[in-house]
Amino acid sequence: MKPLVTREYRTVSYVSGPLIFIERPMRISYGEVVSIILPDGEERTGQVLDISREVAVVQVYEGTSRVDDRDTRVRFTGDPPRIDVSIEMLGRIFDGLGRPRDGKPPVLPEEQPDIGGMPINPYARDKPADFVQTGVSAIDGLNTLVRGQKLPIFSGAGLPANRLAAQITRQSRVLDEEGNFAVVFAAMGITWQEASFFMQEFESTGALERVIFFLNLADDPTIERIATPRCALTAAEHLAYTHDLHVLVIMTDMTNYCEALREISTAREEVPGRRGYPGYMYTDLSSLYERAGRITGRRGSITQVPILTMPDDDITHPVPDLTGYITEGQIVLSRDLFRRGIDPPIDVLPSLSRLMSLGIGPGKTREDHRNVSDQVYASYAYGRDLRRLVAIVGEEALTDLDRAYLTFAEQFENQFVSQRGENRSIEQTLGIGWDLLAGLPVDELKRIGPEMIQRYHPALREETP
Amino acid sequence: MLEGEVIRVSGPVVHAGGMRGSRMYDVVRVGDGALTGEVIRLDQEVAVIQVYEDTTGLKTGEVVENTGEPLRVELGPGLLASIFDGVQRPLPLLVKKSGDFISRGITISALDHTRRWEFEPSVQVGAVVGPGDVLGTVREFNLDHRVMVPPDLHGTVEEVAEGALTVDDAAVRLDGDRPVRMSQAWPVRKGRPYGRKLDPTIPLLTGQRIFDTLFPIAKGGTAMIPGGFGTGKTVSEQTLARWADAHVVVYIGCGERGNEMTDVLTEFPELLDPRTGRPLLERTIMIANTSNMPVAAREASIYTGITMAEYYRDQGYDVALLADSTSRWGEALREVSGRLEEMPGEEGYPAYLAARLAAFYERAGRTACLGADKRTGSITVVGAVSPPGGDFSEPITQNTLRIVGTFWALDTNLAYRRHFPSVSWIKSYSLYLESLRDWFTTSVSSDWGRMRDRTMFLLQKEAELQEIVQLVGPDALPESEKAILEITRMVREDFLQQSAYSASDAYCPIVKQFMMLKAILSFYDAAVAAMGRGIPLRQVLALPQKNEIARMKEQLDADAIGDLIGAIEAAASTLEAER
């Protein structure tokens, strides 16, 4: 219900950081969009964060520089923040608030949904089930991505998370279905260079017309980053649920998003949680991540690959920590592997895909997938433990068996994890897994049943498939 | 009805003016959308309200109505196999009313008021009945749902109904024309009364070896499962929901993932209860308040769940309540507390966090129920805790630790190694061990206590030996200690590891658990005896029975393991030293 008169105020009483306070507001609604008109006529956008009879608190997406407390006018729209969505958005570039930034005219909206979205009723959700082949062995083989999942990449400063994300985007396919996919790319505070890397990447694979870009770059207003992923997910929902597309949403870098959240919280003088991040950051992040999924009876789906930077490679930092508690697993990049030239430098031990068992097995990938994955994991973990031992007592002190495990760990990193842009089918991935396992005594393969060993072990199987 | 107006909105917290006369925890309807909320502070004529729905779009000046009632749940036949949100709205009906996404201002009652239940009375006209007395039963799936006199009513039965009744119909009429309906309502923040608490002397068996054998929980006990992300809290909770030997399971998904709830929803109708052979769904009540659903309803969901659990306990059943995760509940408290601008305690949590946690866990217990027939019931509470950064020193973990009887600590390193369940045998403990010892001795084996203690001793010893190995390498150890390392490796891999996804091993009967442990320990005894005769360890380890031990969990039953134990002893005693 739109009010007949828009209400305009000149009662800015207090400005602090990204926030402005407006005195004596009347019938303002919580969460509504406001336009802030600066004395020189520039118009900015904001959103109501807190209302009372005395004062309304507004966060200004573009920042508060040059806002004054005499001539600045604030116009309340009475509406929550909305975005124009349409299938025509594919191939276009928008700013962090969903306005075109590619110089072309605005899209003709098919809908104007609230970017806040509404929670999916858990009962209406459909179980993620389809195996997504990313062509990356460490993911497909050991941390399988499933359609409708949210699987973040935990990166560190300088680690090639973007290259991995681009590779996933380029290579991802669901085995028996192709074509009706789209990518929504939300950039929050990344550099122009990083954004342009993605654009070139999509261009070179001819996927550009299947991508919607929402770009909030490093020099764009920070508070706008609060809205960017919401705009992107709203567009993704439109593509998925109105146009039946399978949408992959890449959000990078979530650490920048959380910093914007912290900035607002600090400006509001809220009681800080860990490391100054607000106590409600878990709830806030989940309102983004939980928008991934599938809905019973609808054909489209939303799969999320958020990327975040772990400050100082610390996985217990609040941003990766809270993310890990919401997402269905994580792919962790390791500086150690990166230094040793492993590409992609995925450390599989802390990595995890919680929905893996929904996407693998007979009829989906292969019957031995779970066993091979468990065995490879356990053996690699043991091999890694031995490395520490070797550092102390030297390799000579090890038994032959332990030396076999050391070799296994080495080969696993160099042959299984490292693949340098190669696109591997799941058969190839499992094949490499078996080849490596064959270096261990058969008795040691405790996680694989005897029949599977008969059928797939390179030294035992009757004929090569 | 008391009416005021919205004067302030800050996230889930709304201030309403003109509310003098409101009581704490009254339910209110906020604004034009009639959002449901609850009064959590009174200040002059201002009532501070936590709203269970998203407050976006709410304006100052909108009307707030006080219903004058506390937040209640409906209790009656039809709760089993249901799935609710945090304030007991059935989610399937919400889909029908508002579509795939949850919109606001919808009230739906928890029970189906049109459905008829076949009531078989067990009282006669003229009987004098009091609180908790059973008036009759209806069949709710496989359960005799006992229709009881509510805790505040007694009198003489004047009329008894029979046959197909709805939950609104009177089952009996007491003197003075007072109906006792088929269903009751109860305020969630107040525990339902019981006779008295009983000692926890019966274990709640879960079919999980590390739980049942090493760190058992009692019926009526409390446990916590803390662990960083990816350590398997949710899988553990779901495993317990599947296999715990309770009559009724209340599963609360509190601030967790939507896809996980879907997983439970699609699996439970298909999985069968190993004891009754009926679908697990038929004994389960689910509450799903996922992390993106409103935060205040997350706070309420725990109470909604335990009140329903108490209702089935009062009928004389064993109930298991699984809360995943209580950290999200604590965070909801913190968020609301922050918005109230309360003075924060540790890490921003309110100072009353410990008291609230204790009050919640204290609603667990094995009790003599109200009612003349002296039945007993129990509620076992298992709460998952998600410590930030996996750091157990944070307030929720520490405050819960002070209350619960069983501590199942999940270990990130075990999880990285894919050792599941990743319960640390070094850090975990159970305070019920002594009170349950009698039960295990009588029902499993007189040897149970000794076996369990020996295993714990060996595992403890292993941890010490591993430290030495880290320094000097395994070769420096004497044979006897190498034998311990080999045996504990068997304990870890062939006994403690248990896959929740394995068809044959997801549930392991207690007798088989005992036999498995016995087999491993007799292998150890045989090895020690053989080494005493001068036979090298490597020769003992080459015995084919060692591989049989590895096959126990997937392929052998308790009898076959009994045979294996005989074979181990025979084979080891005939070993002769190789030259």
Distance CA B276, CA B264 (A): 19
Residues in chain A: 465
**For B212-223, b where at least 16 C-beta lie within 10 A, e where not — what string?**
bbbbbbbbbbbb
Q: Mind telling me how many Å the CA of B450 is from chain A's nearest CA?
A: 29
Q: Report the interhelical angle of B295-314 vs B326-339 (nearest 10°).
A: 130
The answer to whether B242 and B271 have CB atoms below 8 angstroms apart is yes
What's the average model confidence in pLDDT over A89-100?
Answer: 94
pLDDT at B470 over 60: yes
**Per-residue pLDDT tens digits for B143-176:** 999 999 999 999 999 999 999 999 999 999 999 9
Q: Do B386 and A325 touch (CB under 8 A)?
A: yes
The answer to whether B231 and B422 have CB atoms below 8 angstroms apart is yes
Task: Grade residue B502 by pLDDT with cuts at 50, 70 and 90.
Answer: confident
pLDDT at position B417 is 81
Distance CA A378, CA A451 (A): 20
For the record, the structure tokens of B193 come out as 């009364």
Spell out which residues of chain A touch residue B92, defining contact as CB-CB under 8 Å: 123
Spell out which residues of chain A touch residue B103, defining contact as CB-CB under 8 Å: 118
pLDDT at position B273 is 86
A76-80, A302-306, A382-386: range with highest mean pLDDT: A302-306
What's the average model confidence in pLDDT over A207-217?
Answer: 91
**Per-residue pLDDT tens digits for B534-562:** 999 989 999 999 989 988 998 899 999 99
**Per-residue pLDDT tens digits for A406-457:** 999 999 999 999 998 899 999 999 999 999 999 999 988 988 888 899 999 9
Q: Do A392 and B470 touch (CB under 8 A)?
A: yes
Residues 6+ apart with CB under 8 A from A343: A160, A418, A419, A420, A421
Task: Grade residue A206 by pLDDT with cuts at 50, 70 and 90.
Answer: confident
Spell out which residues of chain A touch residue B91, defining contact as CB-CB under 8 Å: 121-123
Q: Do A28 and B8 touch (CB under 8 A)?
A: no
pLDDT at position A1 is 47
What's the average model confidence in pLDDT over B207-222?
Answer: 96
Q: Report the SS3 class of residue A193.
A: helix
- Identity (one letter) of the amino acid at A376? V
Q: Mind telling me how many Å the CA of B366 is from chain A's nearest CA?
A: 32
Spell out which residues of chain A touch residue B418, defining contact as CB-CB under 8 Å: 374, 377-378, 381
- Identify which of B41, B44, B19, B42 has the alpha carbon closest to the alpha carbon of residue B30: B19
Please name the member of B56, B83, B229 whose beta carbon is closest to the beta carbon of A31: B56
Distance CA B528, CA B80 (A): 53
- Identify which of B73, B498, B72, B77 has the alpha carbon closest to the alpha carbon of residue B248: B77
Closest residue in A to B329 (Cα) is A283
Per-position DSSP letters for B325-339, written without gaps between them? THHHHHHHHHHHHHH
Per-position DSSP letters for A264-327, written without gaps between them? HHHHTTPPB-GGG-BTTHHHHHHHHHTT-EEETT---EEEEEEEEE-GGG-TTSHHHHHHHHHS
Distance CA B410, CA B559 (A): 32
pLDDT at position A465 is 45
pLDDT at B79 over 90: yes
Task: Grade residue B339 by pLDDT with cuts at 50, 70 and 90.
Answer: confident
pLDDT at B498 over 80: yes
- Identity (one letter) of the amino acid at A100? P
Domain A87-358 has CATH 3.30.499.10: no
Q: Mind telling me how many Å the CA of A179 is from chain B's nearest CA?
A: 25
The answer to whether B218 and B435 have CB atoms below 8 angstroms apart is yes
Spell out which residues of chain A touch residue B261, defining contact as CB-CB under 8 Å: 122, 125
What's the average model confidence in pLDDT over A304-315?
Answer: 95
- Identity (one letter) of the amino acid at A386? L
Distance CA A324, CA B365 (A): 34
Distance CA B156, CA B220 (A): 33
Tell me the domain boundaries of chain A: 7-76, 87-358, 369-463
Task: Grade residue A205 by pLDDT with cuts at 50, 70 and 90.
Answer: confident
Q: What is the CATH number of domain A369-463?
A: 1.10.1140
Burial of B303 (0-12, 13-18, 19+ CB in 10 A): buried
pLDDT at A186 over 50: yes
pLDDT at B319 over 60: yes
The answer to whether A216 and A187 have CB atoms below 8 angstroms apart is yes
pLDDT at A464 over 70: no
Q: Mind telling me how many Å the CA of A304 is from chain B's nearest CA?
A: 13
- The pLDDT mean for chain B works out to 93
What's the average model confidence in pLDDT over A1-8?
Answer: 62
Please name the member of A118, A273, A377 whose beta carbon is closest to the beta carbon of B101: A118
Task: Grade residue B266 by pLDDT with cuts at 50, 70 and 90.
Answer: confident
pLDDT at A179 over 80: no
Distance CA A105, CA A52 (A): 39
Residues 6+ apart with CB under 8 A from B542: none
Q: Report the interhelical angle of B433-443 vs B448-472 (nearest 10°).
A: 120
pLDDT at A463 over 80: no
Determine the distance from the C-alpha atom of residue A240 to the mean position of all C-alpha atoms in its chain, rounded to a whole number: 17
pLDDT at B280 over 70: yes
Closest residue in A to B90 (Cα) is A123
Q: Walk me through the domains of chain B, giving residue ranges and CATH numbers.
A: 2-70 (2.40.30.20), 81-109+194-432 (3.40.50.300), 117-182 (2.40.50.100), 444-573 (1.10.1140.10)
The answer to whether B113 and B152 have CB atoms below 8 angstroms apart is no
What's the average model confidence in pLDDT over B238-244?
Answer: 92
Please name the member of B253, B338, B475 whose beta carbon is closest to the beta carbon of A397: B475
The helix (H) or strand (E) run that includes residue A434 is: helix A426-437
pLDDT at B92 over 50: yes
Q: Do A326 and B263 touch (CB under 8 A)?
A: no
The answer to whether A34 and A48 have CB atoms below 8 angstroms apart is yes
Q: Report the interhelical angle of B233-243 vs B258-267 (nearest 10°).
A: 20
pLDDT at B189 over 70: yes
Task: Grade residue A164 by pLDDT with cuts at 50, 70 and 90.
Answer: very high
Distance CA A168, CA B199 (A): 57
Pick among B108, B229, B333 to test the A interface (most A CBs inside 10 A): B229
pLDDT at position B347 is 85
Pick among A118, A130, A238, A352 to test the B interface (most B CBs inside 10 A): A118
Task: Grade residue B568 by pLDDT with cuts at 50, 70 and 90.
Answer: very high
pLDDT at B368 over 90: yes
Percent of chain A having pLDDT more than 90?
73
Q: Do B91 and A357 touch (CB under 8 A)?
A: no
- The pLDDT mean for chain A works out to 91
Q: Mind telling me how many Å the CA of B159 is from chain A's nearest CA?
A: 41
Burial of A415 (0-12, 13-18, 19+ CB in 10 A): middle
- Give the E-state strand segments of A341-430 in sequence order: 346-353
Q: Mind telling me how many Å the CA of A223 is from chain B's nearest CA?
A: 18
Closest residue in A to B292 (Cα) is A287
Q: Mind telling me how many Å the CA of B279 is from chain A's nearest CA?
A: 19
Closest residue in B to A128 (Cα) is B259
**Per-residue pLDDT tens digits for B104-118:** 888 899 999 999 999
pLDDT at A207 over 60: yes
| ipTM surpasses cut 0.90 | no
Distance CA A27, CA B304 (A): 34
pLDDT at B578 over 80: no
pLDDT at position A6 is 63
Q: Do B61 and A326 touch (CB under 8 A)?
A: no
Q: Report the SS3 class of residue B84.
A: strand
- CATH number of A7-76, picked from 2.30.38.10, 2.40.30.20, 2.130.10.10, 3.30.413.10: 2.40.30.20
Residues 6+ apart with CB under 8 A from B489: none
Distance CA B499, CA A373 (A): 14
Cα–Cα distances in Å, from B251 out to A119, A362, B9, B280, B333? 20, 30, 32, 12, 20
pLDDT at A106 over 50: yes
